[in-house]
């Protein structure tokens, strides 16, 4: 029964992984590693708790471990990948621009923006999935959204440093 519950989350895991790493093959590897770890640790999942948040937490940890161990170029995006959008709602060029802008975000901001924006998680669910306080989710989301606005407008991102006289 729990294995079926895990399987029901695979499409969301794949979508998040593809948006997170930008490469179809790396995303498939990330999902496979996540599912392998989840199924091996299924006895640790508490019935009644949010399985989606638990699976995304596993994926986040696998992703961070891969970055640390292999120094993945998480900012490289493939031209043949795109973020799924309803047909006709957004121009394909805008999707490419958004994808490129997401690739410019630091990994921790990109993860929060994708969990809240793409996966429609609440701040509490995203905080649980990432293992950080809600306030951290809120600040990363605010900084990530602001940086995306600047990048999408073609403006250079603000450095965050102020000149003191």
Range of the domain at 25: 1-74
Structure confidence by residue, pLDDT tens digits, 116-133: 888 888 898 888 888 889
Same domain, 92 and 38: no
Structure confidence by residue, pLDDT tens digits, 88-106: 545 666 667 777 788 888 8
Give the model's pLDDT for residue 148. 85
Same domain, 51 and 92: no
Same domain, 59 and 112: no
Which range (38-47, 90-99, 129-138) has the least confidence? 90-99
Contacts 24+ apart (CB under 8 A), 90-97: 97/152
10 Å CB burial of residue 61 (0-12, 13-18, 19+) is middle
- Angle subtended by helix axes 24-40 and 51-70, to nearest 10: 120
Measured between alpha carbons, how far is 5 from 140 in angstroms, rounded to an integer?
30
Share of the chain above pLDDT 70, in %: 76
Measured between alpha carbons, how far is 44 from 40 in angstroms, rounded to an integer?
9
Same domain, 104 and 66: no
What is this structure's pTM? 0.60
CATH number, residue 19: 1.10.1740.10
Q: Is residue 163 part of a domain?
A: no
Q: Is residue 79 part of a domain?
A: no
Residue ending a domain, among 42, 74, 106, is 74
CATH number, residue 138: 1.10.10.10
Number of structural domains in the chain: 2
| HSE-CB for 9 with a 13 A CA cutoff | 24
Measured between alpha carbons, how far is 120 from 118 in angstroms, rounded to an integer?
6
Same domain, 16 and 69: yes
Q: Is residue 164 part of a domain?
A: no
Same domain, 64 and 97: no
């Amino acid at each position: 029964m729990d294995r079926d519950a895990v399987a029901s989350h695979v499409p969301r895991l794949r979508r998040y992984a593809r948006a997170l790493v930008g490469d179809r093959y790396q995303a498939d590897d990330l999902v496979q590693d996540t599912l392998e770890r989840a199924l091996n640790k299924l006895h640790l999942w508490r019935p009644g708790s949010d399985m989606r948040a638990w699976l995304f937490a596993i994926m986040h940890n696998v992703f961070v471990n891969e970055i640390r161990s292999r120094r993945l170029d998480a900012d490289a995006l493939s031209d043949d990948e795109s973020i799924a959008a309803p047909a006709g709602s957004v121009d394909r060029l805008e999707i490419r621009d958004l994808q490129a802008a997401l690739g410019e975000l630091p990994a921790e901001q990109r993860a929060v923006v994708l969990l809240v924006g793409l996966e429609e998680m609440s701040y509490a669910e995203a905080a649980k999935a990432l293992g950080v306080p809600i306030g951290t989710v809120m600040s990363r989301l605010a900084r990530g959204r602001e940086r995306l606005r600047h990048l999408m407008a073609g403006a250079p991102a603000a450095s965050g440093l102020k000149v003191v006289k």
